Chains A and B, each alone.
Chain A
Amino acid sequence: MMTKGILLFCFDTEHTRYHKILERCVHLIKKNLKLPVTVVTNFSTFKSIEPLGFVNYKFIEPELGNTKLGKPWNNVDRHLAYELSPYDITLVMDIDYFCFSDNLAQLFDTDYDFLVPDQAYDLSGRNSFDHRRFSIIPMVWATVLLFKKSPRVERIFQMVKYVKQWYPHFAELYRIKVKNLRNDYVFAIALQQVNGFVGYQTFPFALSTLPPDCEIVQFTDKGLAWKHQDKINFIENHDVHVLNKEIADV
């Protein structure tokens, strides 16, 4: 019997209380996916997390130095997912991806050893993610990825580490416009390299995403409402990736 579970990474920064986002994320996973959860965090973040029921914690010190919009962004430890996961089949998720449905659960019932989304859907109706090919390689969305422990997947993660180590070189090679390290590009490059430059298996749906300028005005167990240009919209029973980090304060 293969073990299955969710792996999350969470590190507070001086600007963002990511642990508040984590608490919501874990609550929804338990409610809708009903799978074991492991949180990779550091001790100072752990001390702030409210009791979440049975959750497995792994402590590491995050690698510092990466930034987003001039603020610290501790997100470069994703390459450790393979060795940190205690499960045979793991779904790695960003903590700002909220599972308001059980849609991801069925991915565990497949024979795929590695699956990643390559499309995002803009819930604000502006198709703002259709023009994000600011490189000569199509980006994947490492927001959510499924992997099964196997020699092939171990090689993918070894390549992820290699790409991360030499990221400035790869960023030049693939003419990536953004200069900070993005897991989306690290995984896209690693997958392309390991798969002989001929593509890889992807999710059969786009990740529904709310751009950073959409302010979350309500958050419930069923869904969320957001405000954009004085208009309020909402969605229920559908998974959403929220890019506005002020959700920690909603």
Chain B
Amino acid sequence: MDIRELKKQSDLSYDIAIAKRNALEKAHSRQVLAYNGNLFRADPETICVVRTLKENSSKFFILDTNNNPVEISDAEDFLARLIERNQEALNAYHQMYETFTKKGE
């Protein structure tokens, strides 16, 4: 057992973990979407709620990130914007994740 090699591996793993954590935080920040004068998070929960409510009616009410009620009158457009923002953020995260995965191999 080469303890220096193990220490090196441990340091590398730590660095990669921090970098991944930061990339995820960046993705979370990037998921914020301004729509109809309010702020939303383009996360799976919001996307699922909007999709479910849209099945029932094209107009509905939803809470923004500060729990303010907002009327959504064009559900199709709102859902498309949420998905676009969500995928933009996760695509960037995926690219970083791949870089770090390769670095760790």
Contacts and interface: CB of A to CB of B under 8 A. Distances in A.
Contact of A103 (B11, B15, B19, B29): B29
B32 A205 contact: yes
Given A103-B32, A124-B18, A205-B32, A110 B39 contact: yes
Interface in B24-45: 25-26, 28-30, 32-34, 37-39, 41
Contact of A123 (B22, B65, B92): B22
B37 A110 contact: yes
A205 B34 contact: no
B56 interface: no
B37 A235 contact: no
Interface string A85-123: 000000000000000010100110111100000000101
Contact of B39 (A121, A204, A208): A204
Interface of chain B, main secondary structure: helix
Interface residues of A, number: 25
B66 interface: yes
B37 A121 contact: no
Contacts of B19: 233-234
A123 B14 CA distance: 13
Contacts of B22: 123, 125, 208, 233, 235, 238
Contacts of A205: 28-29, 32
B51 interface: no
B59 interface: no
Interface residues of B, number: 25
A237 interface: yes
A45 interface: no
Contacts of A150: none
A109 to B, nearest CB: 4
A202 B66 contact: yes
Q: Which of B33, B65, B66 has the most CB of A within 10 A?
A: B66
Given A123-B22, A233-B19, A106 B33 contact: yes
12 contacts: A101-B30, A106-B32, A109-B34, A110-B37, A123-B25, A124-B18, A201-B68, A202-B66, A208-B29, A238-B22, A238-B26, A238-B29
Given A103-B30, A106-B34, A123-B22, 4 more contacts: A123-B25, A125-B22, A202-B66, A237-B26
Interface of A: 101, 103, 106-107, 109-112, 121, 123-125, 201-202, 204-206, 208, 231, 233-235, 237-239
Nearest 6 pairs between A and B by C-beta?
A111-B37, A204-B65, A106-B34, A125-B18, A205-B29, A238-B26
